[in-house]
């Protein structure tokens, strides 16, 4: 038998998954209608398309994270930080149910990412 908390998490993730899929479908459909015009980069239509494509990439990432979280729930590894192996704070999971890192590790990873970017851009 599944615990109430696990059922709630699955329901929340599936709801987020459905919303993301719905938005993704809408954006993809709206991008299908190509306008065969000679547009320059400053044209608002071009900017809107670029923004929509960026949102699509973000939604695909989010869906991948949601699917991964659902598989973790099934395997019993959900809520364990993938970096340090400690339990993720339930309040964090409530806000970001697809997270795989505790707040401490997320902060470290982001800091390391910024440091690496600075080094890269200074080359």
| Dist CA 13 CA 86 (whole Å) | 22
The residue-averaged pLDDT of 61-66 equals 95
Q: Give the mean model confidence (pLDDT) for residues 28-51.
A: 71
Tokens of 87: 């339990």
Q: Where are the alpha helices (DSSP H) in the chain?
A: 4-32, 44-75, 90-95, 103-122
| Per-residue confidence band for 42, with pLDDT thresholds at 50, 70 and 90 | low
Domain ranges of the chain: 1-78, 81-123
pLDDT at 20: 96
- Residue, of 112 and 46, whose pLDDT is higher: 112
For the segment 29-52, the average pLDDT, to the nearest whole number, is 71
């Amino acid at each position: 038998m599944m615990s109430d908390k696990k059922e709630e998490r699955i329901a929340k993730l599936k709801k987020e998954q459905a919303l993301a899929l719905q938005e993704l479908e809408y954006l993809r459909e709206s991008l299908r209608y190509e306008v065969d015009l000679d547009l320059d980069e400053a044209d608002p239509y071009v900017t809107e398309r670029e923004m929509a494509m960026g949102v699509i990439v973000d939604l695909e990432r989010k869906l991948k994270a949601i699917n991964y979280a659902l598989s973790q729930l099934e395997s019993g590894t959900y809520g364990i930080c993938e970096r340090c192996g400690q339990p993720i704070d339930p309040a964090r999971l409530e806000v970001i149910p697809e997270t795989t890192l505790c707040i401490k590790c997320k902060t470290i990873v982001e800091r390391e990412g910024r440091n690496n970017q600075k080094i890269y851009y200074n080359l």
